[in-house]
Every structure is written in structure tokens, then in C-alpha cells.
Structure 1
Amino acid sequence: MIASTIFLLLGALALSVSVAASLGVLAYALIWLFTEVPLDRMIGEIAWQSMSSDTLVAIPFFILLGEILLRAGIAERMYAALVEWLSWLPGGTMHANIGACALFAASSGSSVATAATIGTVSAPEIEKHGYSPRLFLGSLAAGGTLGILIPPSVSLIVYGALTETSIPRLYMAGMLPGIVLAAMFMALIAGGCLIKPAAGGTPVKTTWARRIRAIPDLFPPLMIFGLVVITIYVGIATPTEAAAFGVVGALGLAATHKKLTIPMLSEAIEGTMRTTAMVTAIIMTALILNFVMTFLGISRQIVDVVVALDLSPLALMIAIVLFYLVLGCFMEGFSILLVTVPIIVPIVVSLGYDPIWFGVVLTLLLEAALITPPIGMNLYVVQGVRQGGDLSDVILGSIPFVAVIFLMILILLAFPDLALWLPSLAFDS
């Protein structure tokens, strides 16, 4: 039954069937092939219950938040301010790419939106200052991945909903690793430019007066971060309510910058509806498939097979990490999350690992999937905003950052408290 399930799923994806349709068809196929119980009569109820969750309402709010910040020009001003402050480092404005992605990630929660927004603003800097196209584009693709780790994060919300894990704890768990990973990305850029100075382009000239004038442009994303994360941390709001606070804050910022217009709102809402429809369709069919697999005992069979291998917890965890790294080359990250979590998390918990900690590790693996060919979404997003050149430049430039993500996972394996310390401090004290 396990082999049949894997074959049917991979077959549907190989035929370029959409992920939502693949999961739905697989659920029906399993019902038809392996049981006489009319489970299909329960699918409507399952779909309604899964989609009526208060937690999932946060998803369209966070998507709308990112759309408003993008279309209000706030990201452009933020990037220019970071260029003033970070361009003295070896690698110049490439550090601003990472810093801007980290700040925008702390506002939007979406990796694709982060890569597209910062990429659109920064792409002209390649020719302007003579940067290495590969390293510059790689920094954009990798920086964009921070959108699903640094809170607020849509992926962490979905993980929490699928595993019934505390989303505020997941947010706290992702914060320190996200900051450390951003610093490691910047260290990679600085090291590469010290070894090969030509990759760092010509220095950006600035003054302290310009830096000080640019400081106010850094406040908007920090304000949004405060509205969303701090309100969750102090218990004022649930994640859904915090997301709504973030949208109100973004609207206020757009109005302050005189960008709050009917056409802008129309475009933001249209983009939100399109993305939300895609995401919720995948979530709904994934939860239906999870119900069918649980009823048929497939999930339990997979756990039993893995446990029977009699590997040590560390060896099995490394095998799971390698499995995700390979899977990320062939599946989109969000699809990996929805398809594998119901199966893998019970195995991880049975090994004695904390599901909060694994949520961070899994998010890092999804980050790697975003920048590994041939499916990596951020690769195509960055290539699209570049408007020319070879995709190979983006792919080759992203490979060193994949290695850094893998190194970060090893650090978390060796020092799990890097992810667990902040949640314990925030919620256990």
C-alpha cells in the first residue's frame, strides 16, 4: 500500500498535474483501491472542518500584508536605507540584499514575495556597481528564503495547524535561527569578496548625514514586526488577530506615504485572492489525503517501517534531512510541507525530538528547496526580475547558500537550544 501511494503521487506530479489536484486524486484512488468504506461521503465534512480553522485565516492576512508593503513602495525605501548602512562591508549592497530580505520577511511571511520585492528593487545594482552577477543573484534568492523562517511565517502557521503545535512557540523558535542564518549569509558574501575582490564591485560612496536621514525608512518594517510578533508574545492577540493588526498597520503606512489608492488596493486584493486560493486548495486536499491515509493505516505503516530500521535517532534524523534535500529538487517547498508533515512528524516525535525544534529544521529544509534546481521557486523569481541573462547564473550563485543552510541545520542538530531557548524563556517562565 505504501509503494502504491508513493507511485500514484509521484506519477501525478510527473505528469505536471497541479499539486492540489494530485493530492485530491490520490485520496480518491486510495479510497477506491483499498477500502469498501464510502469515505468519499465524508470528504465534504472534512473539507469544511479543515478550512473553518481560525488559525488558517491568518494566511490571507499575511499575504495581503506583503502585497500592501510591496505596492506602497515601502520596501524600496527600506532597501535604500540599508544600502547606506551596510554598503561599507566587503560585498557592498549584497549585504543590503540580505538585510532587506530579513526585514521584509519580518513583515510579510512569504519567501517568494520577499525575493520578488527586494529583487525588483536591487537588480539594477549589478551593472551599476559591477558586482559578480552570480553572487549577487544568489544573495537575492537565498535572502528571499528568510521569509518562511523569520516570523511571521505562513509556513510555520501551516506546520502548526497540521501538527497541532503552538504557533507562538514556533515563531519564537524561528527568530534566533533566522537571525543567525542571515548573519551566516552575510559572512559568506564578505568571505567570497575578500577572497575575490572583483566580485564585490566598486564601493558605494555615502556619508553619515545620508545614513542618519535614511534611518526613518527602516522603521516601517520594524513597526509591522512589532504589531505582529510582539502582540503574540505578550498575549494581546492570537496569530490571526496579530496578522489583522499587521494589515491595519500596513494600510496606515501606505496612507502616510500617499500610496493608499483604490487601484493599489484592488491590485493587492487581487494578488491576495489568487495566492490564497492556491494555498488553501493545497491545504484542503492535503488534509483530506491525511485523513484517508490515517484511516487506512498508511501513516502508521510508514512509521513502523522506519522504526524497524533500528537506526540511532541521530542517524535517522540525518537520513530525514538528506531525504528532504533530495525531495526539494523535485517538489515545491509548500507542497513538501503539506505532503510529508503528517507522515514524518510522528516519526520524529517517536525518536524523542521536539516538534517545535523540528518545525524550524523543516523550515530550513524548505528554504533549501526554494533555491535548488530544477523546481526552486526563488530561482525563477530572481531570474524574472533580472529580465535577461542565463538562469545558470542564479543557480550557480545559490549553491554556496544551500551549503550554508545545511550547515545551519547541523548547528541545530548539535545545539537544539538555539531554537528552543527563546520559546522556553517566553512561555515557560
Structure 2
Amino acid sequence: MAQFVLHSGALSSLFDSARVLVGRLRGGTAHAAVGAGAIFAAVSGSSTAAAATLAHTSTGELIRQGYDKKLSAGVVAAAGTLAAMIPPSVLLIFYAITAEAGVGPTLIAGIIPGILVALALIITITVLITFNASTAPRGEASSGQEKLRSLTGLLPVAGLFVLVVGLVFLGVTTATEAAAVGCLGALGLMLGKKKITWATITKSFAEALSSSIMILTIIMAAHVFGHFITESQVTPRLVDALSGLPVAPIIIVAIIAVGYLILGFFMDQMAIIALTVPVTLPVVTALGFDPIWFGIVVILLAEIGLITPPLGLNVFVVAQASKMPVEDVFRGSVPFVIAILAVAVLLFAFPQIVLILPEMMGRL
């Protein structure tokens, strides 16, 4: 689905459409980059792909309009992380498979946290501009007619997201069946954009197959690792040891969460899930915590590693696309790292924020 949408050319207009809608505000173009990142995330599933696309479509425009270079690059790198949380996130699906949790509920659980991260990024932009007005120019107003026209760039992609996620949420289809519907919808989008050619179809299938093989190989390795952990009795011993500690269970889970934050600085997010979830999840569930809530918190903390040194994959992607020094992009990302951390703390303190939609889904 993501490859069909990407080759349809529908994503190239997301940033421009969002900019027309909110461009009159000071910092509106930066807000538009976050909005475009959220919508791209809703059909992409890959943070790196989102960051690369946004870097090519929006970083140069932000700088051209007079935005501070560090702010411009930081916004784009941070907006790319939304694809890790907003369904249909590849990481959410991978976690659900590794944790043997329901794929549908896990995907749905990412909606509110994804929206909160997007709002946190927008609030951060507003605060930065308020304290230093020179980092962003005055907004450019657009006519009502221009705003109506801009919707044609947003509605097809947003409609595809609503279709896929709505089918899963309402229980009309399984996540797999919804994916098939999404592929058909994306193919229809290619047809509407007159982008269907033998070359685009072949390239879409080749890239999707390459990604799928990579993910399936990691899943196979994760299951072998999980079997080894089970046979070696590491997890039961760890559960017994941690359960006997004279501290509250929430403190133990908080320590585990900090560990994931640190791992995100040095490891790929999918590798983190594959290597650690078979060990940590039984501990967390034994302490009485929900596995879906834990997965959302883990992925949110791990995705911070996409914009922090030394790995910071999104930062390197944006730096390469915008021809900026990597250290400048890292500096520009710091305020947004704090914003995402604040959302993680909020989800940790109030698990119901994550669980409310999956619970509603279960009652339908």
C-alpha cells in the first residue's frame, strides 16, 4: 500500500496542501511539515521513508521562506518519527507479532499517542517561535478558494487512512484484510493519478517484497531467540528476581522503560524489539501491566533514538537531503526530543490514554 501511494505521486502535494491551510500563522509552514508528516505516516509505516520524503519536499522550502536552518531540519527529522506510531506502523505490527498480541488492537492503540506526539511537536514549534521570533517569518495568508483546492491533495491520502483503520476499528475486517483493501485503494489512487505503468507496478512490488523479506527474517530470528529464552528459563528467573524487589511494580517498569530509551540511542528500533521483548514483556505482564500499553511506550521511547546521537537515522537522512551538517540537525532536534519524552511520561502516568480505543474496539 505504501509503495503504491508513494509511486502515485499523491504524497508530493501533502506539504503544499498543509501549508496553504495553516500558512497564515507565524510558523505555519513548520506546522504544515508536522501535519504532512502525520498524514504521510498514516499510509507509510516507515519513519526513515517519511523523513526522507519530508526532507526533500519541505526542508528547502522552510529555509527558503526564512526559517532558522536548525529549526527547519529538526522539525522534519522529528515529524518523520510519527510513522513509528501512527498506524499502519511497521514497528507496531512487528511488536504485535513478537509479543503475540492482537495486531488490530495494537495498531488502533497507536492513534491517540501519534496525535499527541504531533500536537507536542506543534506546541514546541510555537514555544520556540514565541521566545525567538527571528526563527520563523510571518505567515502567508491564502484565499478560501486556494484552501478548498488544497484539500484535493490531502483528502485522497487521509481517506485511505480512514478506510483502512476504520475497517479494523469497527471489526469489519482483520488487519490483514484491511491491508488488502488498502492496497486496492492505493492502486485506485495510482489509477486516478494516471501513474499506473509496468515500471511503477514492478518497482512497487520489488520494494515491498524486499522490505517484507527483511522483516520476516527478523521475525524468524526473534522467534528462535524467544524459544532459546524459554528453554533456558531466563525469563521465569528474572520475573522471580524482580518480583521480590522491595519496590513498587511501576518503578521496575520505569527502569525497564529507561533502558529502552538508552538502547534507542545505539540500536535499530526493530532489533530492539526483537532482542528485548521476549525477555521484558513476561516480566511486565507478570507485574500486572497491559502488553499493548507497554508496546506503545516502548516504541515511543525507541523512536526517540531516530533523532538522537549517535545513531539518529532520521537526522542523517535529513542532513543528507538538506546538505546540512549532521551536528546542526541534531541540535535542531533537541527541543523535539524533549517534547516526545513529555508525551512518553504522560502515557506512562495515564495508561488509559493508550488503551481507551482498543477497549472501545473490543466492545463494538
Provide TM-score, normalisation by structure 1.
0.81
**Which position in structure 1 is the counterpart of 2:132?**
196
Give the alignment partner of residue 97 of structure 1, picking from 19, 29, 33.
33
Q: CA deviation at 1:244?
A: 1.3
**Which position in structure 2 is the counterpart of 1:389?**
324
Give the alignment partner of residue 342 of structure 2, picking from 390, 394, 407.
407
Q: CA deviation at 1:189?
A: 0.4
**Which position in structure 2 is the counterpart of 1:294?**
230
**Which position in structure 2 is the counterpart of 1:166?**
102
Give the alignment partner of residue 249 of structure 2, picking from 313, 330, 333.
313
**Cα distance in 2 between the residues matched to 1:224 and 1:348:** 35
Q: Do the aligned partners of 1:334 and 1:366 also contact (CA within 8 Å) in 2?
A: no
- Larger Rg, first or second structure (1 or 2): 1
Superposed CA deviations along residues 256-280 of structure 1, whole A, max 9, x for unmatched, are: 1111112222222222222222222
Q: Map of 1:47-66 to 2, 5 A cutoff?
A: 65-66=1-2
Q: CA deviation at 1:205?
A: 4.3
Give the alignment partner of residue 258 of structure 2, picking from 322, 332, 345.
322
Superposed CA deviations along residues 224-266 of structure 1, whole A, max 9, x for unmatched, are: 1122111112222211111111111111111111111122222
Counterpart residue identity of residue 178, structure 2: A
**Cα distance in 1 between the residues matched to 2:39 and 2:244:** 44
Superposed CA deviations along residues 203-235 of structure 1, whole A, max 9, x for unmatched, are: 334222211111121111112112211111222
**Cα distance in 2 between the residues matched to 1:126 and 1:77:** 15
Question: What runs of 5+ residues in structure 1 fail to find an aligned partner?
Answer: 1-64
Counterpart residue identity of residue 95, structure 1: H
**Which position in structure 2 is the counterpart of 1:47?**
none
**Cα distance in 1 between the residues matched to 2:264 and 2:243:** 24
Counterpart residue identity of residue 151, structure 2: I
Superposed CA deviations along residues 346-370 of structure 1, whole A, max 9, x for unmatched, are: 1111121111211211121122122
Q: Do the aligned partners of 2:94 and 2:270 also contact (CA within 8 Å) in 1?
A: no
Q: Map of 1:81-92 to 2, 5 A cutoff?
A: 81-92=17-28
Superposed CA deviations along residues 133-180 of structure 1, whole A, max 9, x for unmatched, are: 111111111111111211112111111112221222212221111112
Q: Do the aligned partners of 2:249 and 2:287 also contact (CA within 8 Å) in 1?
A: yes
Q: Do the aligned partners of 1:89 and 1:190 also contact (CA within 8 Å) in 2?
A: no
Q: Is residue 237 of structure 1 aligned with residue 173 of structure 2?
A: yes
**Which position in structure 2 is the counterpart of 1:348?**
284
Q: Is residue 266 of structure 1 aligned with residue 202 of structure 2?
A: yes
**Cα distance in 2 between the residues matched to 1:331 and 1:253:** 36
Q: State, as a whole percentage, how many aligned pairs show the same letter.
A: 36
Q: Map of 1:278-289 to 2, 5 A cutoff?
A: 278-289=214-225
Q: CA deviation at 1:97?
A: 1.1
Q: Is residue 416 of structure 1 aligned with residue 351 of structure 2?
A: yes
Note the aligned Cα RMSD (angstroms).
1.6
Q: CA deviation at 1:311?
A: 2.3
Q: Which is further off, 234-243 or 309-318?
A: 309-318
Q: Do the aligned partners of 1:328 and 1:369 also contact (CA within 8 Å) in 2?
A: yes
Q: Do the aligned partners of 1:138 and 1:395 also contact (CA within 8 Å) in 2?
A: yes
**Which position in structure 2 is the counterpart of 1:39?**
none
Q: Do the aligned partners of 1:90 and 1:194 also contact (CA within 8 Å) in 2?
A: no
Q: Do the aligned partners of 1:168 and 1:239 also contact (CA within 8 Å) in 2?
A: yes
Provide TM-score, normalisation by structure 2.
0.95
Q: Do the aligned partners of 1:132 and 1:201 also contact (CA within 8 Å) in 2?
A: no
**Which position in structure 2 is the counterpart of 1:212?**
148
Q: Do the aligned partners of 1:157 and 1:167 also contact (CA within 8 Å) in 2?
A: yes
